Amino acid sequence: MPSDFLKLCNDIVGPQHVLTGSDMDGFLTDWRKRATGRALAVIKPGKTEEVANIVKICAAHKVPIVPQGGNTGLVLGSVPDQSGKAIVLSLTRMNRVRSIDLLNDTITVEAGCLLQQIQAVAHEQGRLFPLSLASEGSCTIGGNLSTNAGGTAVLRYGSMRDLTLGLEVVTPSGDIWNGLRSLRKDNTGYDLRHLLIGAEGTLGIITAAVLKLYAQPAAKLTALFALNSVNDALNLLELARQRCDASLTGFELMSEFCLKLVEQHFPDLSLPFSERHPQYVLMEISDSESESHAMAQLEAVAATAIEKAWAADAVIASSLSQSHKLWAMREHISMAQAAEGLNIKHDISLPVSCMVDFLIETDALLQRDFPGCRMVTFGHLGDGNLHYNVSAPVGINVETFLQQQDAINRCVHDNVHKYAGSISAEHGLGSLKRDEIKRYKSETELAMMAAIKQALDPLNLMNPGKVI
């Protein structure tokens, strides 16, 4: 069967776009290099009709499909398992911007477009596509849609579900659903768009999307605050919301240990303060009036925060290069972690009001049960999403420490559940958290998810073993 199947694939996309053997290597290992799978082939279609035809022959031959974009995911959602029975369907050739409607503030793009490419095209047209991620130079919009990516600007603009108006999708039977509607109001039945976004390729293959655009801000300013506690950060957040309202775009929490790692592994990046503090907040506002108006807002927030002792110090970037350097510290945390060694990652979300109690309690539990573990806590405090990562104690072999991953996950995730949070805020479930989520979702919710999967993908060929 493989030779007959691959010949059909060659006929559809051309033999140069059907990769086998060692040509597949770059598609089989996840971004963190924690797992390497096997595949029958890597297929690279160039248009939606080719995707549909590949899906049809996969259904006929019972060949599973693993959709893949930039392969930057963190939960093993875009790589195949060890069976070698699946194909990897790489959408990177489908990277065209199909249209821009400036009056409607929308852009229609194919799934293989890099996020950075979409940002640049929008900017050239005097618009803003606000999704911003550290991996924006390598992640694709299809992957962003499949995981409902959030990033640093969710506080103002929302996640991918909020930024998407319409989708084009190839169904598990190989039909093409043209849902590329650019409407902000459409109440005509079940919202299939929201069902497909965040499904991680398990219900169909997103091939294109209509995305929202926004006016470019007149000014964008960044400030870094030095704080003594997470509670002070929440007070600062409330103050910033009151003073800046919709101008508040980003509010990122970073612990002292996070930035120590950055300075250790990237010496060109350093804090602009003479003294060290337990916590830091990177705040960004995007102003529709002027730079002077934005500066006045930030200065007022900083002055009040220092007066009330919610901030020990603050610095406002006075140039674009200074702003980039402050953001670089935030964006290099994950890279600094990687340079430090493998670690146990958690992508959690909580009601903002529960954040302090959760951190105090969970930090204490982890130190009690895993003495000396180092907490790398950072992320999008403004929308309740933290990357709550755990590194090995100094002097402990990393591989030995990683053997405790299940126990550490249990401690963290049980406490997340206790505070009515989520164990996956923006990375998805993939295969890494597929079984873990069963501990925290009700039987009713899991049954509803299984019923949807069975109805849309009865052969279980769409990214099997992921999510559910």
Predicted confidence pLDDT, tens digits, the chain (468 residues)? 577 999 999 999 999 999 999 999 999 999 888 899 999 999 999 999 999 999 999 999 999 999 999 999 989 999 999 999 999 999 999 999 999 999 999 999 999 999 999 999 999 999 999 999 888 999 999 999 999 999 899 999 999 999 999 999 999 999 999 999 999 999 999 999 999 999 999 999 999 999 999 999 999 999 999 999 999 999 999 999 999 988 999 999 999 999 999 999 999 999 999 999 999 999 999 998 999 999 999 999 999 999 999 999 999 998 888 999 999 999 999 999 989 988 999 999 999 999 999 999 999 999 999 999 999 999 999 999 999 999 999 989 988 999 999 999 999 999 999 999 999 999 999 999 999 999 999 999 999 999 999 999 999 999 999 999
| 84 and 59 share one domain | yes
What per-residue string of b and e applies to 233-265 under the rule 16 or more CB within 10 Å gives b? Answer: bbbbbebbeebbeebbbbbbbbbbbbbebbbee
Describe the chain by its helix, strand, coil percentages, rounded to 5: 40, 20, 40
Q: What is the pLDDT of residue 342?
A: 85
Domain for residue 459, yes or no?
no
Strand duo 87-90 + 41-43: pairing: parallel
| 243 and 269 share one domain | yes
Domain for residue 468, yes or no?
no
| 127 and 151 share one domain | yes
Domain for residue 456, yes or no?
no
Last residue of a domain, one of 66, 90, 114: 90
| 53 and 71 share one domain | yes
The CATH number that applies at residue 370 is 3.30.70.2740
| 27 and 64 share one domain | yes
| 6 and 62 share one domain | yes
What are the two backbone dihedrals, phi and then psi, of residue 49, each rounded to the nearest 5 degrees? -60, -35
Parent domain of 13: 2-90
The CATH number that applies at residue 161 is 3.30.465.10
Q: What is the pLDDT of residue 122?
A: 98
Judged by phi (left if over 0) then psi (alpha if -120 to 50, else beta), residue 379 lies in: left
If you search the block for the tokens 């350093």, which residue do you land on?
Answer: 270
Beta bridge partner(s), residue 94 = none
Q: Euclidean distance between the first and final Cα of the chain, in Å? A: 28
Domain for residue 448, yes or no?
no
Q: What is the pLDDT of residue 136?
A: 92
Q: What is the pLDDT of residue 338?
A: 87
Domains held by the chain: number: 4
| DSSP assigned state of 108 | E
| 345 and 307 share one domain | no
